[in-house]
Amino acid sequence: MQAIFVLVHSPSVGPSTWRPVAEALGRRGRRAVVPDLTAVTEGGPPHWPRVVEAVRAAVPEEGPLVLVGHSNAGLFLPVVKEGLGERVVACVFADAHLPPRDGLVRTAEEAFLPFLRDLAGDDGLLPRWTDWWSEEDVAPMLPDPEVRRRVVEEQPRLPLVYYTQRVPVPAGWDGVPCGFLWYGPPYDKVAERAAARGWPVTRAPGAHLHQVVDPEGVADTLLRIVNSSLFPER
């Protein structure tokens, strides 16, 4: 049975950042689902249990699963994998943060927190993710006006505490094949760390939301990673 791709978006954005790739995979005869994580911060911390529940609710009841996490969704893949059990046969990190082998991990690095604290309003909420950056930064990531409108409109305003919470990292999560896909800097440094773990590393050159710019190419790259790098004997 072919594995189902579970395309997990960063809670900083929304599911439209993965839906074009899911559709492209479907055209290639592969099943893919995109859980919606835009409500995971409703109800206060900890938020990671709602990430796990949202993914579990989105996947079919049967069949092997390949988890693909983008950006800071990568930090949740270990605990999501634990929630799905032995059905998870591989994990792919797409321009994503890398979790440690075990322990706890904060959703934002310590050095980034002052920037976030300056952005937070009196209500403790941050602006939408695309409002953190200049037009010079956002335009290359979302060059198509209609795609940009969809991505921008569905973004939640996350609380600052989302980025200060600690997410559990169950030991042994990386006992399944793992791979790393990167688009461009600064994830070249993360790609080096993934390679140091012995993972296959692949590049699809582009900006941080390259999967909405070239969903066909990213779909092909994901298939190549899974079929050639993670499971070459199949």
Q: What is the pLDDT of residues 107-159, one digit of tens each?
A: 999 999 999 999 999 999 999 999 999 999 999 999 999 999 999 999 999 99
* Domains of the chain, earliest start first: 4-230 (3.40.50.1820)
pLDDT at 152: 97
Cβ(77)–Cβ(100) below 8 Å: no
Mean pLDDT of 183-210: 97
Q: Which of 27, 10, 9, 26 is nearest to 18 (CA)?
A: 9
Mean pLDDT calculated for residue range 42-58: 96
CA distance 67 to 80: 9
Rounded distance, CA 94 to CA 73, Å? 9
CA 226, chain centre distance (Å): 16
Report the alpha-carbon distance of residue 207 to residue 199 in Å, rounded. Answer: 22
Asked if pLDDT for residue 234 goes beyond 60, the answer is no
φ, ψ dihedrals at 96, nearest 5°: -125, 160
What average pLDDT does the segment 157-182 reach? 97
- Bridge partners of residue 32, in order along the sequence: 5
Instruction: Indicate whether 35 pLDDT > 80.
Output: yes
DSSP state of 73: G
The model's confidence at residue 230, banded by pLDDT at 50, 70 and 90, is confident
Question: Tell me, what's the pLDDT at 232?
Answer: 63
Provide the edge-to-edge strand list for the sheet that holds 88-96: 32-33, 4-8, 65-71, 88-96, 178-182, 201-203
> Which of 116, 151, 134 shows the shortest CA–CA distance to 38?
151
pLDDT in tens, 54-108: 999 999 999 999 999 999 999 999 999 999 999 999 999 999 999 999 999 999 9
Give the global pTM. Answer: 0.96
Residues 6 or more apart in contact with residue 102 via CB below 8 angstroms: 169, 170, 171, 172, 173
